[in-house]
Structure 1
Amino acid sequence: MSYTITEVNGVKTYNLSAGKTLPQFLQEAKKKNSSLKYNQDFRKRIELIQDFEFPISCNQVEITPDEKYIVTTGTYAPTIKIFETAELSMKCLRGVDSEIVKFAILDQDYSKLAFAQSDRNIEFHAQYGKHYKTRIPKFPRDITYNPYTCDLLISASSKEIYRISLEEGQFLKSFESACSDINTLSFNKQLNILASGGNDGIIEIWDYRQREKASNKIFNNGQDITYCTFDSSGMVFAAGSDKGLVRLYDIRQESPILEIKHHYKLPINTIAFHEKSRNIISSNERVIKINNQDNGKVFTSIEPNSGINRFCLCPNSGLLLVAQEESRLGTYFIPQMDNAPRWCNFLENITEELEESQSNLVYDEFKFLTYDELEKLQATNLLGSAMLKVHLHGYLMHMKLYNKLLQKADLFSFQDYQKNLVKKKISEQQQSRVSMKNKVQKNNNQDLFQDKDKVNNPLMDNRFKGMFINEDFAIDKNNEEYLRLHPSEGNRGQKSDNFFVDEEGNLGQDDTLQIKMDQRRKKLDLQQKKMEKIQKSKAIQKEKAKKYTFEDKIKKQKKNFKNKQK
């Protein structure tokens, strides 16, 4: 299918970029010599923007303030692609000399762009293409723009925040930070202040009216700051660390008002505010989390199959554009968060049709397992492989593989299951039967209970005791009638029972039989010892005979040799 639907906390997310592209469909049809006319995946495909992809991966995606153009950068080779939302197709493509670390949109459309490249070059583009290029002393990490003074601000692997005046066309005096490296910048248009975050967890606020540092704060015991931003009001500030921690601050207070933890503990790469739903969206390499801005409750989450570089939230909508570590850019639509953008309002009609004919829910063919369940299946060696997908606090495994591992781990589970079913059915049938209770007199039960100890030993019972004591009941095994009835016992010779009954009624055995048995055992032991001695003596004689014969042969050979010499 060309789309997938995931549901977390009852919120549906439509992945509109999950299917194949048009060139891929055409290649497969050419190989199989089949027509796309009857291909259901091709007929139900959703391609939001044509050619919305790069050869290898995408680094960054941004939408212009007028919402008419989407600017993207990717590799390989390093390229810039600009898409027009009115036509839902590519406007232009430009190649650059080195990989783009970050870019800033300087105007309402794509007519003015600034790109920070990995070779320390800052490249300026206009509508017609490349306009100018300059160089900074250190490798850039982030770039932002102050529209009131026309200053381009660049953070790098140094203590300085470089400033370029685009009005005067020259470098201005840099801001000197307390951080050794500055990772991120964010400009507040409402208050005309600049926020910077760097190593050692230092967050600094610069007042652009006085060109001086206004405040300095250490974030959570020195965790490195990887991203920071302001909301649309300019009063709420958000910062993300390299350990997956996101904190919200009111700029009028020192302590954070909200804290969000990412369980993967990976660096935060993007944070955005959604004003209508009062949600804050943050992402790391694995997951995009959407939390409520007031209480921190999880709204939903998105986990793409590939790594996340950055994402862009389309203004006043529920559409997310994600730059991923794969050729195609991700497009995710969340109707419960907000409506579709104006330039693709047809998405709402499509999602309604998809809900009516929903047939492809993601993870239907997967089994969710925790780490303890993996240990029971003896499948911990699959961690890190393509057979396990990390999901929430556990892993996803294909049902076919799970069933095979389950059969190997417990071969008799199905048999036990069948036996338990049979037992349950039998017990249910027995319970459904009408059982009749027999009425018994209480006096009889009490008499039996009192006489229970008397009948423990039947030999002491007067009714049977005479059979074991009276000689008239004894069996004479030498009698002709007895031997005629038991011919096998007659061949064994005369045997006595040697059993008796004592006064208490217990059976016993005569000592004479035990004495005879002991004598026989002793005779057998003596015979075995004699046989062992005879065998040992024979073996010694054989060894001596071998030695003598060998020595005699040597003597004869010597004599024959002497006779020949003579």
Structure 2
Amino acid sequence: MSTGTYKPQIHTHYLPHLSLSFARHTNALNETFVLLSSDYTKSLHLQTDRFLDFHTAGGLHYTARIPRYGRDLIYDRHSTEALVPSVGVNADGNGEVFRLNLEVGRFMKGYEVDVGGDDLATVGGGALQGGINTGAVNTASVAEDSHNLLAFGTSLGTVEFWDSRSRNRVGILSSPQDASIDGRSEITALQFHRSGLELATGTSNGLIYLYDLRSPIPILKKDQGYGFAIKNLIYLDSGTSTRAQTSEPKILSSDKRIIKIWDKRNGTPWTSVEPAVDLNHVEWCKDSGMLLTANEGKQQHAFFIPQLGPAPKWCAFLDNIVEEMAEDPNDPNAFGKSSAGEVYDNFKFLTLPQLRQLNLDHLIGTTSLLRPYMHGYFVAQKLYEEARLISNPDLWQEQRAKSIQEKINKERESRIRGNKKVAVKVNRKLAEKILEREEKNERRRAKRVLEKGGDDDMLMDIDQPVPAAAAAAAAAPEDAAAGGEDKPTVLNDPRFARLFQDEDFEVDEESHEFNAINPSTQRLPKGLTAVEEEELAEHKGSSSDESSDEDERDHQQPSKQSWKDKSVDNTRISSSSYKKSGHQSQRGGPPPKMVGSSSNRKGAQQSRDRSFGDRVANLTVRQRPVNNGGTVVVGEKQVTFAPERKGKGRRDGKGGEDDGQRHDRRKMKDRRSASGNVFRKM
């Protein structure tokens, strides 16, 4: 989160996406702000018009006004109080630090700090809020990680310590005599060390002092060099105590011109950053080398120092850029030409939590054994194995015993459990069919793995009838669907659970729809009844000459008679007349043949045995009269797919054929039939 001007607004960025989450405008400029939660959802902003704005994810939640202008804002998490150091004095002539209790929701009695008057001669009640050189409490700091003491820096150059539990002043630290150059040196920056025993103070003339709380004399003095007021002091401590003991301790100090990082033990400069515009605030991403600055430019500045630490997780791509730019082979964080081929050979990638588990995090930044990369480090394989053995001496034996036990359990499971039936209530055949299909796919996958020389864990016994995973799914599909690690199938999918449990979803295999979809599962009919035999005999006795000729052909082929005459219903597709035309029924039979129809029925049996090519070669051209008196050239034979009626005609009640109601298809043989079954009775 960052705040800016023109117009006064708040920007919140979502770092994993490196994008702006939202922008929100305010009524006045932000002096400073604090985040009350671990994310952006709760924040408290100190405005320049004496207002405290409480913001949530939805917008401005509440505003409260303070009596005088605030200079700084901190949050005491132990007492849930927002502390606002202010300028000016109260009725008693003391400066005030306003206390807003966020749990109770009201202002409490503030901390009274001695800030002097409006000039050097007057102290106390003569001070004016808006006068020149008015006394003020400029900054504050709290030791959250240790004793939770509160420190307030004043315009007199003193630091007062208060205990939040008893709300009493416990000590006053005066500035050194040489701290004041022009007669007045104010405290503008304060920072506690995480141990709580050290304190860093920054003055308005660019001097930095390090104190041990057990002594009023500073242990180190550092000059920023430009004479501007110190804005930020940050202890660059690592996240773990082991790294803090071995790595070189550093302090970051900044004014509006430059950022300096130096050794806190002797004040030796380590590095510095000087941007092109003035600085207002500097933030450090903990346990990384990333620095973010709020400045007077249009854009925020981000500086990355690889030697200070790795890049944060949300911009891990910076590590790759550093590797490409680095050329010094002696730099432990650089990969030059001399080690270009050794970057990934015999190295193990470990993250920071894994390094802490192996007690190797103290090597970060101090040796070349750990090479930073992305969000972790590359460690030599030998060092990694030795560290594992040191941290757990029985690791090799435990791993060996574990692998042996896994092999025993696998053999025991295949020997004892075996093949179990599918535990379903309905549609058992469907479940067994699905399971069989899964087993075939698993065997096929295992063969491919064996052909490619896969890993030992992926190898499977091809001769084994049922894999372990399939057997487990077959034995208990409910357990697999409840949250097992098996591959999701129809059996263990909760969406299809009622298909194998509810009787309403049972598949009726005797229905007509099932037989139409699954013709291979139909059963062969039994013998004909007496009524069916009588109707069949009547049908044969009343057939035409052409039908009798075809019956004689059918009698000459006894092998084909077994699949004919199975039904006597003329309305069904599997009728006797339809089968005689050469069509194959659903129950099987010889394939259909295309034959030529001739106007001359004599010698049909001999021409039937000839091939179509021989008959075409012997065609002769002849003419025949037509109804209109003209002639048309035709061949001896014609081949057509138009069906021709050859069955018995429908008879009326007197026994005569009803020619008035039925069309003579032999006279209309040139017209294409509209029947859907084109090959009927050819």
Give the alignment's TM-score, normalised by structure 2: 0.41
Q: Which has the higher strand share?
A: 1
